[in-house]
Amino acid sequence: DGGITQSPKYLFRKEGQNVTLSCEQNLNHDAMYWYRQDPGQGLRLIYYSQIVNDFQKGDIAEGYSVSREKKESFPLTVTSAQKNPTAFYLCASSSGTSGRWEQYFGPGTRLTVT
């Protein structure tokens, strides 16, 4: 079954700790994305990567970091510098080729920081 997996589904951390969220895809997609979703605010883009070993900041990148060492994997680290890290985090991927721009999403990770 092709798809996107995110782990864990729920994550709890104390303030001041860094935490890494996993995202893996077996769709052979070139592009991968991280979004944050807060109640009433829709999806906001954190980082995206169109190719291995390259990534760009999205609209709300402060306090986050990513890496793209493999085509299949795009982990997101939420650092202690992120002021309001509690949110629902969504990973997505797309083919990246012309005319195939639709993004497919993983099941999400709900992060709670106290």
Residues that bind other proteins (CB under 8 A): 4, 6, 31, 40-43, 45, 48, 50, 56, 58, 88, 90, 92, 94, 96, 99, 101-108, 110
Please state the closest distance from residue 80 (CB atom) to other proteins, in A.
Answer: 26
Q: Which of these, 106, 56, 64, lies nearest to 83 by C-alpha position?
A: 64
| CA–CA distance, 46 with 87 (Å, rounded to integer) | 12
Complex with other proteins: residue 63 or 96, whichever CB lies closer: 96
Please state the closest distance from residue 97 (CB atom) to other proteins, in A.
Answer: 10
Complex with other proteins: residue 3 or 18, whichever CB lies closer: 3
| CA–CA distance, 110 with 90 (Å, rounded to integer) | 9
Complex with other proteins: residue 9 or 14, whichever CB lies closer: 9
What tokens were used for 61? 């990148």
